[in-house]
Structure 1
Amino acid sequence: MNSLLQTSIFSSLEDELKLVASKIESAKVVQLMAPADIEGVLALAQLESALLDNSQHYRRRVLSPRRHVSRDHVPELPEVDGLIIHIDPFHETQSAIEINDDYVHIFPLSVSVKFGSSSKEHNGAVECVAICAAIASILAPEGARVRKQRSMAISGSWLRGGADSDYDPVLSLIREHLDSEGSVDICPLPEVPSPEIEMIPGLSKMMLKRLSKGWPKMDVEQRSSAISELVLPALRLDGISTMRLEELVWHRIMIPGNEVDIASQLYRANSLWPEDIEEAKIHASSTLDSLITSGHL
């Protein structure tokens, strides 16, 4: 794995992330807390994997889900001993991590990023899963479980909705980084064995099936023309941004060895998430255990 800190996403956050990692390493017990939403589970998996790789004592506390609660809601945290790492995916975007003696509050952070040698800056937000993945890579850079979670480091960016705007530079940079280090493969939709097509409005399942069958024999021009015809109904409908459509058509992110792309995994997992608070907590814990073991949803 190549360090996530090498990307321009984390260049301004490196000192903060290393401070958080240092506090975790020196803590007698780490209290991990996150809401019982898929965003919380994905972030917890990154940190728990690092702590397990390092054989460090920690406790997990799954809080009530936040997906249907206003952003300004302040969750009540249990009083516990040790270092609290509170992962708060639905918090308003801030400029710096909140770091106190026995409490670290992780939430989405605003960043300015650059691509390659370009001097042009793009503004975006890095969310909790990627932040926790970066911290995990500091704690256990060669950890087996951390490596297994690496592909999912991009999952929070996909869920956050930046791709629903015109452009999400953070999503693009993380995708490029994970692809370059071999943690993910980027495939066009016809090359994905088991995609969820419901994410693209108006997409014909039969048309995609025929296209996938003939795809290997097509040249670049034929593929481009066929894809354009496939997604034409989606372009005529509201409900999906140009960037998200492009990601779903040309940049399906695959975990090597897995037949279901990450976007499809997230879509399926979200559709099965319980609405009841207590059921959501139980479901979150079982999903988290499975995610840490398998590296995918």
Structure 2
Amino acid sequence: MSETVSESATRKERLEFNKLQKRLRRQVGSAIADYNMIEEGDKVMVCLSGGKDSYAMLDVLLGLQKTAPVHFDLVAVNMDQKQPGFPEHVLPNYLDSIGVEYHIVEKDTYSIVKEIIPEGKTTCGLCSRLRRGTLYSFADEIGATKIALGHHRDDIVETLFLNLFYGGKLKAMPPKLLADNGRNLVIRPLAYCKEKDLEAFAEARGFPIIPCNLCGSQENLQRQVIKQMLQDWERSHPGRVETIFSALSNVAPSQLADRQLFDFVSLKPQVMAYEQDPQQQTVVGYIDAVQL
């Protein structure tokens, strides 16, 4: 009996999901290997916000954990920032259902942000600093050797342009980072993953998404402007965002202007010295012009 239209559609969706899952696992595995993100005996604290990216990160890491060549432990951590109306039951219920060790860290950063930041102004900067400090301290408490954040490729490229346009700095989010306190190692396993793939994966897996009511509802954020710019570029020039991301790992310090990265002050011209031969000229080496 031939399969029905519904069965055919279901089969196609299943095949597409399998391809998507394999692609994400391959990209996460490559990022982990390229930057030595996870090592034997690591205890990785997976930071869950309740958004699509962190859910996907935990899901993929759980899958890789079963086949990885090294042993490592995963512990999920969510920070309850005491936002009004925050559904406190959602994450615990989900994590209980998949049998993952987890902690809910309660810290009222919402009141602090609302008290300091004027109404209508961007809260993301202060909110992220407060959240980061709390999570770093908690990582020390539980003995976590790595802190995994759910930033993906598009986040990294957006941050590059945010710093370039608004901060006058040429920097982004590195896949692996030593925190300012010198103790915590931060990793970004989704560094090679596209946001649209993570969106599709989250929808297919049916993650219980929790929207951010503190900053996610703000309009006209600088990041939104950058995101729209990159989306426009990608539509008119497909592959441009991937090229920009590749550039972050293909840096030529001598072609920039940072005196800390390249010794421009001591740079001197060099000339060729030739050993004369009746038949040909043979290069014997470089001699600094100032020595001639």
- Higher relative CO (Cα under 8 Å, sequence separation at least 6) belongs to 1
TM-score by length of 2: 0.24
**TM-score for the superposition, normalised by structure 1:** 0.24
Pair member with larger Rg: 2
